[in-house]
Amino acid sequence: MSASKQVDATLLARVLEPYKPKCRYLLSARCELPEDGADHLVRLVGELGIEESCYIEDTGHFNAVEFNISYNQLIYTLLGHCVTNALLEDLADMNLAEYFQRQLPDVLIHRFSSKFRRPMAARAYRGQVEINETANRGRFVLVKTTVSFEDDAGGNSSGEVDLAILRRPLEDGGGQ
């Protein structure tokens, strides 16, 4: 079994701070380190819930916009946890203050694909994101991820997302 650690509530609150209160879907999360031979570097498993859509009348199901927002909250949380705990070699020189400066402007979706296999309820669901590979490209770090969501009734969706974390100079030096 892999090692598991609950994400600190203070870190989670800080990661979700840029979101409007009714758009904070990620309720709790734990980070799991892989077993030997796993196909991922690190995984975050989260409990999520959407009380009310922030942009549309209730569609009755989890949709592509909610998928993307949920993915963002999972990956931002996982990256913050990885920086805090020095879990990824390609982000080892970044501290938490710098990460928070980069979270919104410098974590960019490079490629995004999603599949919706069975309609899913948005009120309460689980999600997991895995970082499968990272590569330092000098000007940016490429992060390859997979993500999946499911509810208790068998609804599910999944996707693959590649991120680029820009390595541009920060105006105030990024706390370094």
Q: Is residue 71 predicted with pLDDT exceeding 70?
A: yes
In eight-state DSSP terms, residue 175 is G
- CATH number of this structure's domain 4-175: 3.10.129.30
Question: Do the beta carbons of residue 156 and residue 143 sit within 8 Å?
Answer: no
175 pLDDT above the threshold of 50: no
- If you average pLDDT over every residue of the chain, what do you get? 93
Query: Is the per-residue pLDDT at 174 higher than 60?
Result: no
Average pLDDT over residues 16-34: 96
Q: Say what the pTM is.
A: 0.93
**What mean pLDDT do residues 57-76 have?**
89
Q: How many CB atoms lie within 10 A of CB 170?
A: 15
Output the pLDDT for position 2: 67
pLDDT on residue 137? 95
What pLDDT is attached to residue 118?
96
- Give residue 82's identity as a one-letter amino acid code: C
Confidence (pLDDT) at 58: 67
> What local confidence, expressed as pLDDT, does residue 44 receive?
98
Q: Are 175 and 98 in contact (CB under 8 A)?
A: yes
Task: Label the pairing between strands 42-48 and 107-118.
Answer: unpaired
List pLDDT tens digits, range 115-159.
999 999 999 999 999 999 999 999 999 999 999 999 999 999 999
Q: Which residues, other chains included, contact 29 with Cβ-Cβ below 8 Å and sequence gap of 6+?
A: 6, 7, 12, 44, 45, 46, 47, 74, 77, 78, 81
The domain spans of the chain are: 4-175
pLDDT band at 56 (very low <50, low <70, confident <90, very high): low
Average pLDDT estimate for 56-61 = 69
Spatial CB neighbours of 106, under 8 Å, sequence gap ≥ 6: 165, 166, 168
Q: What is the pLDDT of residue 176?
A: 41
